[in-house]
């Protein structure tokens, strides 16, 4: 009885909530409140493209950040996804948009698998050239073959029946936002589970040192091709969203080489090999030009020629990128981790197979 009385009189333990749970709850509340707090301009011109660029950065990060395979063909695989979605919606009557997005992602994944075949034998600069060939090939294909844009004189594509999900219209800004947000959230969750499992560990082993991974039994060639397929699948869906949820209509120029460079900058700035790095890099690339534009309009309005002002903005943007990479080459994800960790400087850098190999050298 004494034991029972002492236990019943014990003080209740304080409720401790992990900071990660608080951050997740805050982000969830923010994304749910966006349609009610943000204007149509913010939703259409800033938030939706930010989400799509983050998804594209996630796709490239799976290939380059986690699997270590360099690529400059992101725009090409986004292009495949956009044109495949258009063709499926145009030529398959009654096909729901989500199913069209899924099939377009699979077609983009197949294209990535095809152009990723050289990765079985080459890497580095030579692999970049291979993926660059995909960029030029698909630009030529979708521009020179009228079947892909249904003979439109302007060579542009747009969904023939508009944006709708199982009969529900998504043409308004809120509909575009929810469609984009749901797709990005689903693919981000699937990607996070993928990289935390055996597939992610295999990709990391290939990235750190493929020769050592092959010695211990890892099928490096199949792992590289798998990374190309998954990456291109995500990029293809991102391309369809970019064409029809953000632009409304698109052409080959919407997915040019500049788009591939933009996606590459996103993962470099955000942080290679991290899921959150794609979102941080997309936020940096999306918001910094807007901030610079606002500052120039208020500080130098009427004093500097418009063309010169745009060139100055590009120069400042480039200098900030170079300075940031010098200061924190591991990206915004690492920088924020160090800031939140306090004076200790964050967690130590994760050792990989290359580090171990260097330590064993005499």
Question: Is 100 in contact with 163 (CB distance < 8 Å)?
Answer: no
Quote the pLDDT of residue 357: 43
pTM for the structure as a whole:
0.85
Quote the pLDDT of residue 12: 55
Quote the pLDDT of residue 266: 92
Q: Which two tokens stand for residue 339?
A: 């800031």
What is the CB neighbour count within 10 angstroms for residue 59?
33
**Rounded mean pLDDT for each run of 10 residues along the chain, 362 residues in total:** 48 54 71 77 90 96 92 95 96 92 97 91 86 94 94 91 83 90 95 92 88 82 93 97 94 94 91 91 88 77 72 80 78 79 52 42 46
| H or E, element range at 168 | strand 168-169
Quote the pLDDT of residue 359: 38
Which 8-state DSSP code applies to residue 93?
T
Quote the pLDDT of residue 305: 73
Per domain, the residue ranges of the chain are: 38-255
Which ranges constitute the DSSP H helices of 216-305? 220-241, 257-270, 275-299
Q: Which of 94, 102, 243, 107 is nearest to 161 (CA)?
A: 94
Q: Which residue has the tokens 């080489």?
A: 257
Quote the pLDDT of residue 41: 85
Question: Is 116 in contact with 229 (CB distance < 8 Å)?
Answer: yes
d(CA 264, CA 128): 12
Quote the pLDDT of residue 11: 56
In order of 41, 49, 131, 207, 272, the CA distances from 57 in angstroms are 23, 12, 16, 18, 10
Quote the pLDDT of residue 42: 86
Give the 3-state secondary structure of residue 164: strand
| Torsion of Cα atoms, 294 then 300 then 306 then 310, to 10° | -50
d(CA 248, CA 257): 20
């Amino acid at each position: 009885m004494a034991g029972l009385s002492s236990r019943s009189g014990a003080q209740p333990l304080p409720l401790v909530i992990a900071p990660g749970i608080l951050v997740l709850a805050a982000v969830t509340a923010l994304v749910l409140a966006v349609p009610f707090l943000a204007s149509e301009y913010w939703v259409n011109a800033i938030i939706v493209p930010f989400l799509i660029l983050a998804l594209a950065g996630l796709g490239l990060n799976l290939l380059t950040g986690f699997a270590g395979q360099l690529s400059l063909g992101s725009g090409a695989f986004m292009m495949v996804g956009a044109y495949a979605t258009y063709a499926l919606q145009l030529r398959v009557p009654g096909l729901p948009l989500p199913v069209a997005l899924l099939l377009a992602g699979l077609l983009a994944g197949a294209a990535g698998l095809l152009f990723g075949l050289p990765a079985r034998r080459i890497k580095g600069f030579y692999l970049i050239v291979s993926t660059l060939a995909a960029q030029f090939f698909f630009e030529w294909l979708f521009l020179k073959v009228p079947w892909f844009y249904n003979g439109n004189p302007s060579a542009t594509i747009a969904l023939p029946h508009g944006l709708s999900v199982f009969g529900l219209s998504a043409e308004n800004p809120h509909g575009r936002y929810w469609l984009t947000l749901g797709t990005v959230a689903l693919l981000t969750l699937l990607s996070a589970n993928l990289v935390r499992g055996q597939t992610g560990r295999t990709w990391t082993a290939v990235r750190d040192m493929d020769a050592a991974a092959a010695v211990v039994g890892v099928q490096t060639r199949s792992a590289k091709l798998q990374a190309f397929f998954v990456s291109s699948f995500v990029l293809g869906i991102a391309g369809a969203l970019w064409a029809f949820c953000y632009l409304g209509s698109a052409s080959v120029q919407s997915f040019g080489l500049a788009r591939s460079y933009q996606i590459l900058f996103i993962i470099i700035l955000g942080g290679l090999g991290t899921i959150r790095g794609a979102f941080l890099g997309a936020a940096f690339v999306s918001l910094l030009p807007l901030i610079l534009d606002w500052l120039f309009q208020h500080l130098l309005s009427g004093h500097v020629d418009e063309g010169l002002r745009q060139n100055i903005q590009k120069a400042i943007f480039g200098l900030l990128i170079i300075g940031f990479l010098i200061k924190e080459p591991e990206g915004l994800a690492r920088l924020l981790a160090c800031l939140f960790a306090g004076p200790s400087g964050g967690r130590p850098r994760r050792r990989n197979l290359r580090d171990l190999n260097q330590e064993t050298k005499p």
